[in-house]
């Protein structure tokens, strides 16, 4: 069932209350999500994006209840990732000649995934499409936000920016709009989304936000492809993105570790205690990498000015739980954050050096001091925790 957004613009997406993970198992979903597609019915009828294939049949059936598919004049494919393009093959089987507007990279992405030579119409930033009644669509390439093909589409007259993935959240809200959402959850999910998906592309985000602001387009609504539609002060999410994209950090230090027999866990807590003594206002958080959701930890890292990572030595290396997490950490390309390493060992004791090298390779400014403790720590071993804390808070 379509739901009115403004005038002749409707939401026709899918709210997925039961989704638990996304991007394979890379992104945990805690509060549901949605795939938002939109229908514009002016002199021309326009479909903006579709939804994910598992719900494709249902989507087409709903769409058919609202419009005769043969009356759709244009399809806008803002992004080729399957959560937005998944129902395109089903639709285009029924209306095969309908023009599909996308970027040049969008053609590559859609052809590569669906192996169909649809009626692609390549657009670039500033190109427009007249849809009648004095309204037009303006296309804005959003390269690397978060795929090379990503694009946004702006509707004049109604002043709606269909931003696709940008400004989205994996958050199910039945009422669709930001003013109907729980504000704490909305902030949390928008930040988790940025931290875990967009952080590596922050330089692109900064540049693009400046470009969008310079276009000086009135924006009454930002309609992303996931989560709430921003109609109450839509500029707030643009302002947040500008802040988050600018090497964002708070006065927070996050400690992440795994442990075999509890020694490395003791070090984690001791470092936290020393930070608390030195800088009582600094927010300190401690996570066992196995027990806490990796995306939630990464959101805390995003907010932090420094981190400490711990693992005992096992098999001349670090625990696989920690190395897997570090691989994810590196992929997010954090900048301007400090990091310290710590860990216990029985004999060879390579873990701390490996952690330091990996953190450096991941773009962190690694502290000179570390905590490398033979067997289980005792009071005299904790002296160095003070040095680690001092470097992290400074
Ligand atoms: Fe929501 Fe990049 O797809």
Radius of gyration of the chain (CA): 24
- 84 C-beta closer than 6 A to ligand 1: yes
- 2 C-beta closer than 6 A to ligand 1: no
**365-366 and 338-345 strand pairing:** parallel
Token pair 């479909």: residue: 47
Q: Looking at the CA of residue 168, tell me the nearest atom of ligand 1.
A: 1
Q: Looking at the CA of residue 35, tell me the nearest atom of ligand 1.
A: 1
Q: What is the pTM of this model?
A: 0.97
Taking the C-alpha atoms of residue 370 and residue 377, their distance in angstroms, rounded to an integer, is: 14
pLDDT number for residue 298: 98
**151-155 and 160-164 strand pairing:** antiparallel
Q: Are 388 and 308 in contact (CB under 8 A)?
A: yes
Q: With left for phi above 0 and alpha for psi between -120 and 50, is residue 232 left, alpha or beta?
A: beta
pLDDT number for residue 341: 98
Nearest CA to ligand 1 atom 2: 81
Token pair 């990279």: residue: 105
pLDDT number for residue 61: 97
Nearest CA to ligand 1 atom 3: 81
**Cα 83 to averaged position of ligand 1 atoms, centre (Å):** 6
Q: Looking at the CA of residue 164, tell me the nearest atom of ligand 1.
A: 1
- 83 C-beta closer than 6 A to ligand 1: yes
**Cα 211 to averaged position of ligand 1 atoms, centre (Å):** 22
pLDDT number for residue 219: 98
Q: Looking at the CA of residue 82, tell me the nearest atom of ligand 1.
A: 3
Q: How many CB atoms lie within 10 A of CB 277?
A: 11
- 225 C-beta closer than 6 A to ligand 1: yes
Give the H or E element holding residue 57.
helix 56-66
- 81 C-beta closer than 6 A to ligand 1: yes
Low-confidence ranges of the chain (pLDDT < 70): none
- 146 C-beta closer than 6 A to ligand 1: yes
Give the H or E element holding residue 373.
strand 371-374
**Cα 291 to averaged position of ligand 1 atoms, centre (Å):** 27
Taking the C-alpha atoms of residue 364 and residue 247, their distance in angstroms, rounded to an integer, is: 12
pLDDT number for residue 362: 98
Nearest CA to ligand 1 atom 1: 165
Taking the C-alpha atoms of residue 150 and residue 114, their distance in angstroms, rounded to an integer, is: 17
**Cα 325 to averaged position of ligand 1 atoms, centre (Å):** 22
CA contacts within 13 A on the Cβ side of 317? 8
* 240-297 tens-digit pLDDT: 999 999 999 999 999 999 999 999 999 999 999 999 999 999 999 999 999 999 999 9
Taking the C-alpha atoms of residue 70 and residue 312, their distance in angstroms, rounded to an integer, is: 63
**Cα 164 to averaged position of ligand 1 atoms, centre (Å):** 7
- 226 C-beta closer than 6 A to ligand 1: yes
Q: Which of 92, 58, 76 is nearest to 164 (CA)?
A: 76
pLDDT number for residue 1: 86
pLDDT number for residue 221: 98
Q: Are 132 and 43 in contact (CB under 8 A)?
A: yes
Taking the C-alpha atoms of residue 240 and residue 193, their distance in angstroms, rounded to an integer, is: 12
- 163 C-beta closer than 6 A to ligand 1: no
Q: Looking at the CA of residue 146, tell me the nearest atom of ligand 1.
A: 2
**Cα 307 to averaged position of ligand 1 atoms, centre (Å):** 29
pLDDT number for residue 201: 98
Q: Would you please indicate which residues are annotated as catalytic (active-site) residues?
A: 23, 79, 81, 83, 146, 165, 193, 226
């Amino acid at each position: 069932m379509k739901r009115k957004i403004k005038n002749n613009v409707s939401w026709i997406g899918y709210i997925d209350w039961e989704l638990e993970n996304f991007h394979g198992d890379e992104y945990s979903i805690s509060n549901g999500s949605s795939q938002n597609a939109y229908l514009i019915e002016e002199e021309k009828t326009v479909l903006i994006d579709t939804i994910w294939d598992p719900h494709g049949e249902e989507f087409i059936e709903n769409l058919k209840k609202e419009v005769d598919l043969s009356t759709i004049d244009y399809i806008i494919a803002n992004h080729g990732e399957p959560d937005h393009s998944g129902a395109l093959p089903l639709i285009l089987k029924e209306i095969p000649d309908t023009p599909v507007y996308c970027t040049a990279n969008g053609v590559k992405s859609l052809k590569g995934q669906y192996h169909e030579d649809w009626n692609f119409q390549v657009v670039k930033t500033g190109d427009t499409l007249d849809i009648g009644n004095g309204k037009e669509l303006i296309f804005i390439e959003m390269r690397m936000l978060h795929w090379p093909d990503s694009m946004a589409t702006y509707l004049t007259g109604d002043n709606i920016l269909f931003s696709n993935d940008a400004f989205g959240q994996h958050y199910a809200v039945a009422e669709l709009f930001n003013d109907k959402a729980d504000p704490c959850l909305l902030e949390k999910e928008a930040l988790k989304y940025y931290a875990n998906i967009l952080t590596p592309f922050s330089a692109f985000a900064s540049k693009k936000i400046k470009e969008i602001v310079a276009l000086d387009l009135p924006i009454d609504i930002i309609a992303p492809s996931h989560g709430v539609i921003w109609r109450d002060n839509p500029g707030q999410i643009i302002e947040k993105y500008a802040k988050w994209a600018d090497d964002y950090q708070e006065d927070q230090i996050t400690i992440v570790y795994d442990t075999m027999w509890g020694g490395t866990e003791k070090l984690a807590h001791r470092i936290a205690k020393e930070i608390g003594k030195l800088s009582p206002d600094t927010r300190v958080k401690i996570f066992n990498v196995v027990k806490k959701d990796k995306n939630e930890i990464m959101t805390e890292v995003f907010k932090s000015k420094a981190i400490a990572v711990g693992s005992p030595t096992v098999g001349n290396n670090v625990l696989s739980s920690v190395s897997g997490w570090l691989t994810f950490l590196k992929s997010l390309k954090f900048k301007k954050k400090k990091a310290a390493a710590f860990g216990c060992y029985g004999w060879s004791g390579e873990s701390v050096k490996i952690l330091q090298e990996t953190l450096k390779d991941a773009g962190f400014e690694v502290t000179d001091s570390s905590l490398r403790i033979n067997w289980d720590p005792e009071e005299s071993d904790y002296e160095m925790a003070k040095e680690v804390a001092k470097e992290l808070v400074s």
